[in-house]
Amino acid sequence: MSTVSMRRVVITGMGAISPLGVGAEALWQGLREGRSAIGPLRHPDAERLRVKVAAQVPDSFDPTANIEERTLIMLDRTSEFALHAAREAIAQSGLDFSRNGLGVRTAVVVGTGVGGENTQDEQSKRLYGENSPRAHPLTIVRVMTNASASQISIAYGLRGPTFAVASACASANHAIIQAAQLIRYGMADAAITGGTEACLTYGALRAWEAMRVLADDTCRPFSINRRGLVLGEGAGIFVLESLEHAQARGATILAELAGVGMTADATDIVMPSAEGSSAAMSQALADAGLNADDVDYINAHGTGTQANDVTETKAIRLAFGTHADRLAVSSTKSMHGHALGASGALELVAVVGALRDSVVPPTANMDKVDPACDLDYVPNVAREMPVRAALSNSFAFGGLNAVLALKRAP
């Protein structure tokens, strides 16, 4: 992809709801402290489940805060997360959508892997378990995959392109890429984008148990004794703008979204391909105008499964050659869990923090490194170091790869 004649895209606001707390700063501070939010599963049916651990949003999250009751009744938990994170991001950006017709020129693109899973689970229990003759009348507006994007659009009167992206664990990165492209090509001046997920329902947990990829203790990416992934939940939402638009209004720029890469493995529905992942990273570098040795940090997909961690290590070596040995690589899923369609958005908070504060978050829970995973994974303790540019990797079931390349704020 060429950047010739395209507008540059920057981030001017970010918000988050995560297992590490309410707010993007709570997430970033937890990550730089190496603090894992993985703990015993809190669920009314926990005794019936084999999975015993998860990374859950704390009970201090109040879904009634800042959302009117007439709106709240229409929301699944996944949209509650998205609206709260969007409010934080928009407040930080300082955008006023009523000025100069900006509301018409602002897009909303939100990724989610499963959408309104809590509502789906509740209504299935009602219909099949309790033999209810009818579903709740607001089931559809809560369940539909585009609910979060539409609710943000309605809340702020945003009339630009608005839609959802669903590509499993790459949903957030794919959504952010689509939002950036709308700005690059002049179809929008600003965008509200990111990912949201609330997938810790009985049905979803049972389905993940059946795949036998869940850890029974904690998430240990790249460690030889890793036992699988740990499911999480939450949302990360960002305000993107064209560089010209942000500079014209004197906005504080957090980072530049300089390049993107998207590929499909076209090989296997669950087994990742090093070649496909590597190609997405190489595309992102080229799109950003970066050489391999310009990059200091990669936020890895790093799920903690046997197949993913080895394959991603190989992919990084394919894309970066000898420079791979000089990269700092970490998986923050070791702390916030794998939030499926929201993971890339939570991880983008980590990348923006690394660029802004010159601190690379660690890979928590690391003990003995797998010899097949032979990169610098920043074990257990954050590292102070300059970060000029960074990649954020998301690789999904279905063989779908989406990579973001970021630079420090211009």
The catalytic residues are 169, 301, 338
Could you tell me the two tokens for 364?
A: 């928590």
Question: How far apart are alpha carbons 134 and 123 in whole angstroms?
Answer: 9
Q: Locate tokens 């219909």: which residue?
A: 127
The angle subtended at Cα 389 by Cα 374 and Cα 392, nearest 5°, is 60
Classified as helix, coil or strand, 252 is: coil
Four-residue CA torsion sign, 208, 213, 217, 220: negative
Q: Beta 255-264 vs 400-408: how paired, if at all?
A: antiparallel
Helix spans in 185-332 (H): 202-211, 243-248, 274-288, 306-320
Of the candidates 279, 300, 315, 290, the one whose C-alpha atom is nearest the C-alpha of residue 350 is 300
For the CA atoms of the chain, what is the radius of gyration? 20
Question: How far apart are alpha carbons 93 and 96 in whole angstroms?
Answer: 9
Q: Beta 106-111 vs 162-165: how paired, if at all?
A: parallel
Question: How far apart are alpha carbons 203 and 117 in whole angstroms?
Answer: 9
Question: How far apart are alpha carbons 55 and 53 in whole angstroms?
Answer: 7
Provide the CB-side half-sphere exposure for 210 (13 A, CA): 6
In sequence order, the β-bridge partners of residue 32 are: none
Q: What separation, in Å, do the N-terminal and C-terminal C-alpha atoms of the chain show?
A: 21
In sequence order, the β-bridge partners of residue 231 are: 338
Q: Which helix (H) or strand (E) holds 118?
A: helix 117-124
Question: How far apart are alpha carbons 352 and 336 in whole angstroms?
Answer: 16
Question: How far apart are alpha carbons 197 and 22 in whole angstroms?
Answer: 15
Classified as helix, coil or strand, 247 is: helix
Neighbours of 186 (CB within 10 A): 12
